Amino acid sequence: MRALRLGTLLCTLLIAAAASGQEWQPPPLVDSGEREQLARELRAEAASLEGLSRQVRNIARLATPCVVHIDANKVERVRGRAEQFEEAGSGVLVTLDDRTWVLTNRHVIHGATAPQIHVRLHDGRELHPQRIEADPQTDVAVMQVDAEGLVTAELGDSRAVEIGDFVVAIGSPFGLAHSLTFGVLSAKGRRDLTLGEQAIQLQDFFQTDAAINPGNSGGPLLNMRGEVIGINTAIASSSGGSEGIGFTIPIHIAVHVAEQLVERGRMDRGYLGVKLEANFPPEAARSMGLSRPIGALVSGVDPRSPAEAIGLQKGDLILQFNHVEVEDDDHLVTVVGLSPIGQDVPILVLRKGKTYPTMITVASRPTPEQAAGEGSSTRAPIDTVQPYQIDAPVSDR
């Protein structure tokens, strides 16, 4: 009834306006005085936003010449028949060992030879890589290129970024080269992700809501200083397009792998020789005196391994590795796998309510032939190290 009465009143007013010969006009939202005040407020508030806009424009001017578009012509066998297809992706020019390389994702170029890979620079020139190296464990690849006037990117400290930081992604979504998107860092430490057919074993991804689509793979994620803090790698999507969940390899990990690929042609993965329990429920943590599950629970120890050498046992809980608090089993696998081979690393182990600080030497993952050989113990078992009580920051975080 109320809607009917309002409608009747409006019709009456319109009829009255028509009868008087005047065109009916809705009342103004604000009067002239209010409009002037609103304009002043908008101009004042726009200053800060325009500053951010200028920052993003300058990032684009600084970083875009360092970003390349990649086309890889590949051949796959489908039902016994060879089929050709093209994959588009992105990369960023970096300096490694005093030479210029394209840092990208392995999956962008995997299956293509150097003549089948076209690297298009910002100025339109096309290059073929002179050397290609890739690591399937991390999905990192590098390609050496050579041309006049190549501009390499500034690399930032990906360990210093925080959730909520503004970020910029540059790449070739759906083949549209040098596209820029803007967003925030949504999360850190994303691990145990199933990324299509990719079996990426060492994962420690950033998550961002900056739009990332097919073709952005291998391109840079940048901080507000225009420094590369990650290599965009994958998206979580039910539609195949951006849904605001993109995953990025932190640049300190990508560069660590890239340097090994450049130096040795492979990435040697760190190894302790422990089997880890994937299921560490809250009740098990409480029985060990912890308020919640943290650390990596040892379920077995490989013979003739660094872990056996220091006396690690089934049931031990590794709380810290190289002064980094271990979040879970996947976290330990990643930080160990990316640790320099031969490095002596401090670890903190919880056993039967007591913590034991000791050192362990990171080894290279042995081949089957090496695993069958003899080993030697070079460290005292951790039981011989003086224990001390676990402190609150470790047990109650």
Cite the active site residues: 107, 139, 217
- Pairing between β-strand 270-271 and β-strand 363-364 as defined by DSSP bridges: antiparallel
Residue 212 CB neighbours (<10 A): 30
Give one DSSP letter per residue of 50-87, joined into a string.
Answer: HHHHHHHHHHHHHHGGGEEEEEEEEEEEETTEEEEEEE
In a 3-state reduction of DSSP, which class is residue 170? strand
Q: How far apart (Å, rounded) are the C-alpha atoms in residues 357 and 391?
A: 13
Q: How far apart (Å, rounded) are the C-alpha atoms in residues 89 and 109?
A: 8
- The half-sphere exposure of 23 on its side-chain side, counting CA atoms within 13 A, is 1
Question: Measuring CA to CA, which residue among 28, 12, 132 is closest to residue 70?
Answer: 132
Give one DSSP letter per residue of 34-47, joined into a string.
Answer: HHHHHHHHHHHHHH
Question: Measuring CA to CA, which residue among 329, 325, 323, 328 is closest to residue 343?
Answer: 323
Q: Which residues on neighbouring strands pair with residue 362, listed in sequence order?
A: none
In a 3-state reduction of DSSP, which class is residue 234? strand
Query: Look-up: residue for tokens 């429920």?
Result: 281
Question: Measuring CA to CA, which residue among 205, 180, 187, 182 is closest to residue 195?
Answer: 205
Task: Calculate the alpha carbon distances from 327 to 91, 137, 237 in Å.
Answer: 31, 21, 27
Backbone conformation region of residue 220, classed left if phi is above 0, alpha if psi is from -120 to 50, else beta: beta
Q: In this structure, what token pair is assigned to residue 340?
A: 């320099």
Q: Which amino acid is at 265?
A: G
- The half-sphere exposure of 378 on its side-chain side, counting CA atoms within 13 A, is 10
Q: How far apart (Å, rounded) are the C-alpha atoms in residues 296 and 377?
A: 23
Q: In this structure, what token pair is assigned to residue 174?
A: 């759906």
Q: How far apart (Å, rounded) are the C-alpha atoms in residues 180 and 59?
A: 10
